[in-house]
Structure 1
């Protein structure tokens, strides 16, 4: 089930808004993440809605909620068209008071999750100064034509660089440059031969797979259902509940 509706709860429902994917692993990952959210916040009504490709679609989820107040938390990592247009427009058709939370990124919890996934894939901290000078990470993201999306990804890269102590270069699967391949080539030309690819995707899918194939050595798994991702979803929910709801929702939180 995608929800655990508690009639006694007066809190707004949490609606996690995923993009949707043709890869069945993506839906399984999102469902596992929602289960973690429910474990952390028992009694909170937690629902799932997709922008496209998978059921339930967000408009259907909102229709099923009826007049119940809801907070929509995008399972997206930066600002862009979906956060600024698609989700608010779908929310505007919902008759109840609806709030749209900020996207997940940038946030230190994402850098912590990325570091964990890299470590799981075999990354280790440089042991010498020479090793540090020869190391780098490519942060592989989906990409967007919206410049604010690149800004947000760059901020996450900076957070991860501070965590790792080596340069972290954003790269993209589509709609933006550089590509992962060109970022790796550029780093190697600068003497960074120990280069890993950090998968900055919420779940497995075509983009994550393609970016991993471009890794010269280590490629981490997507963020997935890591416990810190569940914490971050609830953090965005709590942020949004402190704001006065609008009817209809017009924009995501800055």
Structure 2
């Protein structure tokens, strides 16, 4: 596969050492799934190499796979803007990872690992949240996919740790007020960090771990790469730069 386009995994970036380690572990699993394919990684913020640095090192064909769970500002604006500064590359941008049934599989595994049982009642899906309605809509769609994946189609309420509502704590409180006594929170986050810690303080009976370097997640990265290869390279244009991130400064766990 030496002539195949490079897979460039684009992660959000975080100052959390464990969060960076999670990205590295996920990329390692992707490499193991596709031996012979050149797989690189970069970060949109806080960690090197940055996306522009990674693009400057590449030549020829490349597929950028966002390690992001929704189609928000980073996918729509930041990544295309960076590509506009790398005209020598023949580049495609893959879809964001979510929503997807493979993520429902990974979320279910994490819930079971935390001790959740299918008969315990409703779930709250805790996402980072965004000022971009499209990203939050992706989370709501993921909640529906997770509900369909669970026995008896257990209700799953989407919640957001910043920038949108309800928060996980509000969703848990509302479910308790509706008469549910056993409520679990599924962390719809890629790695440990600020938001993951906040999700554990929602008042639920249990909270699952972030998705991490789950095998299903690695398979999804490869799937997004393969999907992108079937599409023609898009016309890259630069949009006005603005910062829509609602994360606290220096904190990122998407």
* Structure 1 length-normalised TM: 0.90
Q: How far apart, in 1, do the equivalents of 2:237 and 2:40 lie?
A: 18
Give the match for residue 63 of structure 1.
Answer: 56
| 1:214-240 Cα shifts (integer Å, max 9, x gaps) | 242110010000000000000000000
What is the root-mean-square deviation of aligned Cα atoms in Å?
1.4
Residue of structure 2 aligned with 1:232, choices 199, 207, 220: 220
Q: Secondary structure at the match of 1:78?
A: coil
Give the counterpart of 1:171 among 159, 162, 180: 159
Q: How many residues align?
A: 236
| Counterpart residue number, 2:205 | 217
2:74 to 78, 82, 102: 82
In structure 2, the residue matched to 1:145 is: 131
Residues in 2 aligned to 1:113 and 1:139: alpha-carbon distance in whole angstroms? 13
The equivalent residue for 1:4 is none
CA positional deviation for 1:182: 0.5
* Moved beyond 2 Å, runs of 4+: 246-251
Cα deviation for residue 14 of structure 1 reads: 0.3
Instruction: Indicate conservation of the 8 Å contact 1:98/1:248, yes or no.
Output: no
**Comparing 69-78 with 214-223, which one deviates more in the overlay?**
214-223
When normalised by structure 2's length, the TM-score is 0.90
Contact 1:96 1:247 in 2 (8 A): no
- Whether contact under 8 Å (1:20, 1:54) holds in the other structure is yes
Structure 2 segments unaligned to the other structure (5+ residues): 240-254
Output the CA distance in 1 between the equivalents of 2:8 and 2:84: 14
**Following TM superposition, by how much is the alpha carbon of 1:68 offset from its aligned partner in structure 2, in angstroms?**
2.3
